[in-house]
C-alpha cells in the first residue's frame, strides 16, 4: 500500500500563486500610474541616482530658460524705448533746422520742452515695475531733471551734464548656462541719453533767453522804462503796441494799418548781427530802420548770431544723440537675439532631459498592459491548480 502526501505540492502551488498575484498587482499599479516604481527603492540604486541627476538638470535648465525669457522681454522693451527716443530726437532736429531759418520762433521753447518731457518718459520706461535704464537700481527712476543744470544759451551745448541721472553704473547680466553669461544693460547716463537731454536743454534755454528779452518795455525813445504799452504814429496812422508784442507782431499791425491814402509797410530785416524792424512810408523814398530795438524798448523774437550758433551746436549734439542711441538700439537687438537663441536651445535641452527621465521612471504602458493580461492568466491557472489540489485527500489513495 502506497501513501501519498499532498502537503508539499500544496505549499509549492500556493506559493507560486501568491508570487503571480504580487507580480499582477505590481503590473496593475504600473499600468495605472505610468511609473516603473512608486519610490526610489523600487527603481534601484543606479536608476534612482540617474533620476535625481536628471531632475536636477531639468530644474536648472528650466531656470535658465525662464531667465532668458524674462530678460528677453526687458531687452525687447529697451529696444522699443530706444527707437522711440531716436524718433523724438529726430523731431528735435527738424525743429532746430526750422528755427534756424524762421523769423518767428515764439513757440519753440514750449515745443522743445514737450519733447524733453517725452524723452524723460521714454528714459524712465518700466517693465514689471522695474526701470529699464537705471543699472542695478531698478526701483529708482533714472532720469530726474529737478536738479538738471540750466545754463545760458551762449555755448550751452558744449558741456556734458549728468546731474539728471539717479541710477548706478552697473551693467545688468543674466546667466544662461554654466559657461555663458549675457550682459545686456543700458544705463541712462550713457552718451546717447546725455546728448539727447543736453540738446533739448540747450534749445530750450536759448529759446527762453530770446523770449525773455522780447518783452516790450517802452514804445517811444523818450518814454521811461515803466511804460509797458502805447502807440506808434506813422504819418497819422496809429498802431497800438501791447506789452510783450514781438517785432513780428508789431510789423504785422503796421502793415494792417496801411491804406491807399497812407501806404505804410513794415518788415523784419537782418543787419548782420541782429534783426531789426524796418518801416517804410509811401510818402518817403527812405526807409526807417530801427536797428536798435532794445534801446527803444523793443526786441525781436528771432535769433541773434549767438543764438544761431547755439542752434548749430545743438543740432550737432542731436545728430550725435541719434547716432549713439541707434548704435545702442542695435547692440540691444544683438543681445535680444542671443537670449532668444539661448531660450530655444534650453527648451530643446529640457525636452531631451525629460525624455531621458521618462526612460528611467516611466513604464511602457503597452508592455504593462500585456503583463497585466499575462499575469492575470497565470494567476487564474494558479488558483485552479490550488483548487484541484485542495480536493485531493489521502483517503482517495488508501
Residue 113 and residue 258 in contact, taking contact as beta carbons nearer than 8 Å: no
pLDDT, residue 64, reads 86
Provide the 3-class DSSP secondary structure of residue 6.
coil
Residues 146-170 pLDDT 10s: 878 655 334 444 455 788 999 999 9
Predicted confidence (pLDDT) at residue 48 exceeds the cutoff of 70: no
Residues 91-138 pLDDT 10s: 999 999 988 777 667 788 889 999 999 999 999 999 999 999 999 999
Residues 307-335 pLDDT 10s: 788 889 999 999 999 999 999 999 999 99
Residue (of 274, 276, 269, 272) closest to 291 by Cα position: 276
Predicted confidence (pLDDT) at residue 212 exceeds the cutoff of 70: no
Mean pLDDT of 56-77: 87
Burial of 53 (0-12, 13-18, 19+ CB in 10 A): middle
Per-domain boundaries in the chain: 1-34+363-398, 54-214+305-348, 230-290
Residue 269 and residue 295 in contact, taking contact as beta carbons nearer than 8 Å: no
pLDDT, residue 113, reads 93
pLDDT, residue 12, reads 64
Residue 39 CA: distances (Å) to CA of 271, 300, 357, 361:
96, 90, 15, 10
Predicted confidence (pLDDT) at residue 258 exceeds the cutoff of 70: yes
Banded model confidence at residue 214, pLDDT cuts 50, 70, 90:
very low
Assign domain 54-214+305-348 to a CATH class.
Answer: mainly alpha
Mean pLDDT of 44-70: 79
The neighbour count for residue 366, using CB atoms within 10 Å, is 9
Mean pLDDT of 329-351: 86
Handedness of CA 64, 70, 76, 81 (dihedral sign): negative
pLDDT, residue 111, reads 93
Banded model confidence at residue 341, pLDDT cuts 50, 70, 90:
confident
Residues 265-298 pLDDT 10s: 887 766 556 666 777 776 554 445 554 555 445 5
pLDDT, residue 221, reads 32
**What integer best gives the mean pLDDT of the chain?**
74
The neighbour count for residue 136, using CB atoms within 10 Å, is 15
Amino acid at each position: 500500500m502506497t501513501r501519498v502526501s499532498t502537503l508539499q505540492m500544496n505549499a509549492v502551488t500556493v506559493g507560486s500563486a501568491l508570487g503571480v498575484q504580487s507580480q499582477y498587482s505590481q503590473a496593475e499599479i504600473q499600468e495605472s500610474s505610468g511609473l516603473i516604481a512608486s519610490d526610489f527603492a523600487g527603481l534601484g540604486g543606479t536608476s534612482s541616482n540617474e533620476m535625481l541627476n536628471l531632475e536636477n538638470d531639468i530644474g536648472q535648465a528650466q531656470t535658465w530658460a525662464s531667465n532668458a525669457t524674462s530678460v528677453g522681454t526687458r531687452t525687447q522693451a529697451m529696444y522699443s524705448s530706444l527707437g522711440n527716443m531716436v524718433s523724438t530726437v529726430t523731431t528735435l532736429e527738424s525743429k532746430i533746422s526750422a528755427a534756424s531759418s524762421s523769423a518767428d520762433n515764439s513757440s519753440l521753447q514750449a515745443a522743445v520742452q514737450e519733447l524733453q518731457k517725452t524723452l524723460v518718459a521714454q528714459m524712465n520706461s518700466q517693465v514689471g515695475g522695474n526701470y529699464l535704464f537705471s543699472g542695478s537700481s531698478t526701483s529708482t527712476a533714472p532720469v530726474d531733471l529737478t536738479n538738471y543744470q540750466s545754463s545760458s544759451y551762449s555755448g550751452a551745448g558744449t558741456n556734458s551734464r549728468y546731474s539728471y541721472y539717479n541710477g548706478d553704473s552697473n551693467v545688468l547680466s543674466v546667466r544662461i548656462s554654466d559657461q555663458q553669461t549675457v550682459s545686456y544693460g543700458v544705463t541712462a547716463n550713457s552718451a546717447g541719453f546725455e546728448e539727447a537731454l543736453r540738446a533739448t536743454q540747450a534749445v530750450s534755454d536759448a529759446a527762453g533767453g530770446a523770449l525773455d528779452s522780447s518783452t516790450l518795455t517802452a514804445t517811444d525813445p523818450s518814454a521811461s522804462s515803466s511804460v509797458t504799452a502805447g502807440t506808434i504814429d506813422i504819418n497819422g496812422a496809429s498802431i497800438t503796441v501791447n506789452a510783450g508784442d514781438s517785432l513780428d507782431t508789431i510789423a504785422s499791425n503796421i502793415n494792417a494799418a496801411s491804406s491807399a491814402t497812407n501806404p505804410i509797410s513794415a518788415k523784419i530785416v537782418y543787419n548782420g548781427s541782429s534783426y531789426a524792424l524796418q518801416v517804410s512810408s509811401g510818402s518817403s523814398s527812405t526807409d526807417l530802420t530801427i536797428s536798435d530795438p532794445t534801446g527803444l524798448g523793443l526786441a525781436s523774437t528771432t535769433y541773434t548770431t549767438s543764438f544761431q550758433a547755439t542752434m548749430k551746436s545743438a543740432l550737432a549734439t542731436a545728430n550725435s544723440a541719434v547716432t549713439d542711441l541707434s548704435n545702442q538700439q542695435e547692440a540691444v537687438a544683438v543681445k535680444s537675439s542671443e537670449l532668444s537663441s539661448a531660450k530655444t536651445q534650453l527648451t530643446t535641452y529640457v525636452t531631451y532631459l525629460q525624455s531621458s527621465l521618462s526612460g528611467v521612471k516611466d513604464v511602457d504602458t503597452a508592455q504593462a498592459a500585456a503583463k497585466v493580461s499575462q499575469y492575470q492568466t497565470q494567476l487564474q491557472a494558479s488558483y485552479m491548480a490550488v483548487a484541484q489540489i485542495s480536493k485531493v485527500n489521502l483517503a482517495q489513495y488508501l
